[in-house]
Structure 1
Amino acid sequence: MHRRAMLLATGGVATVAGCFSTDGTEQADATADFVDSNVLTAPPRDGSTDTSWLRIDIENDTSAPHGRLEAESRVRSEDGTTMVTGEHVTSYLPANTTLRYFVDAEFEVDAVDAVENDVVEANTRVESTQLDDVTVRNTDLSAGGDVLNVTGEFSVGVDEAERLVVVALIYDEAGRLRGTGTDIKYTLDTTEPVEFGANSDGFRAPAGSTPLESYDVVVFDGYT
């Protein structure tokens, strides 16, 4: 594996001037800061041929959760040419959590001069309620290519719901968030358990990266 530390150029940091908890007390600002970027060559976990990778770390170091986040990175050569552009979307970034993701693409690692990062879109306030009275059962994590899917069923303490959003948070052995899967459920009769499949792509990673270890499932009422 060949790694090269890169100059980090951050074009966007998402912040919010303040949000409030359910009891009306003001919470700390939610942030999404690019804290590290790197390029490397290595085979994918499920392959043997070296490819080029972009590794990005985004941190929310506050006590407030961050909502949907779309990030974009551009790998540039010394003359400023954009060699490759990588994008990543996560639906939820918990408080005091670092998100790490990888983008595999065709570029010459030794020709890279800088990586520029931007927040393209950010919901810095979670404008919904995370349900506490939720029981999640029979969960399972499956993988296919760069797609992960967390399946299971949940029960909530209400009889009906117009729109519930299930978010699966996938973590590696170092405790970093590696991405999220989502499933949206409409007009539910919740007197019976509700099946879900929260999935997303963007989980392909190079050999030697920290393995995935665990996942959490949370349910929101009208998540945006």
Structure 2
Amino acid sequence: LRNPDGQQLVLDPNYTLDFEGSSNNCISCHQPRDSYEIPATNSSGLYVVNTSRFGPHHGPQATMLEGILGANLPGSEGYPGVASATHRTASSCVSCHMGESTDTSEGLHSWKTTEAVCLQCHTNGIPSELSGFTEDMITLKSLLENVVGEEFETDADGNPVFDADGNPVGTGVPVVGLIVDFAPDDTDRSNSGIFTVEESQAAWNYKTLLEDQSKGTHNPGYSRALLKNSIEALQN
């Protein structure tokens, strides 16, 4: 099951991600899948979301560490260089998550970081999250919950209808919320509908940051830029 070689990314087959060692094995699973495309600018300025599970899948940790495959919306926060995060250049998946331990509930094959491993670099204390991450995620989700899109027409097979120019055909019925909670135990889902590219990119970033599950600590600079610029895009 070990794979020490660089991994070709599922969502971008032209990119080979190489952590140079045993951490390459982690990339095989911990990357976005190709179920949905990252929303990109197009002539219509619109994007069709046709799923309740829009986003990069449950494990974009490897690409977040690399600083790629978010939707890089323009904004006041600059994006750091690819592969420039300290956790990428001076550490690794294995060294952080499989540290030596006499307690089998942490380190080793538990995949839980140990305090001793973290303190080797974080000598002033171990950060629980990127500063302001929780508050900013609440803000971004609130904005996405209040986005108003439009229902799309469907063909006989239930697929979205597009006109001759490739633009989605709407019904005129509003769709409130791109990211929504369907039930207390079924949260952060997506509504189907026609939304702007910027709204869809912000939703992609929200789900990427949420599914990364490090609260921004894997790659603080990239996480901050995705989060802040997504908020700005929806507020403008």
TM-score band, normalised by shorter chain: under 0.3
TM-score scaled to structure 2, two decimals?
0.26
TM-score scaled to structure 1, two decimals?
0.27
Relative to its length, the structure with more strand (as a share) is 1
| Larger relative contact order, structure 1 or 2 (CA cutoff 8 Å, min sep 6) | 2
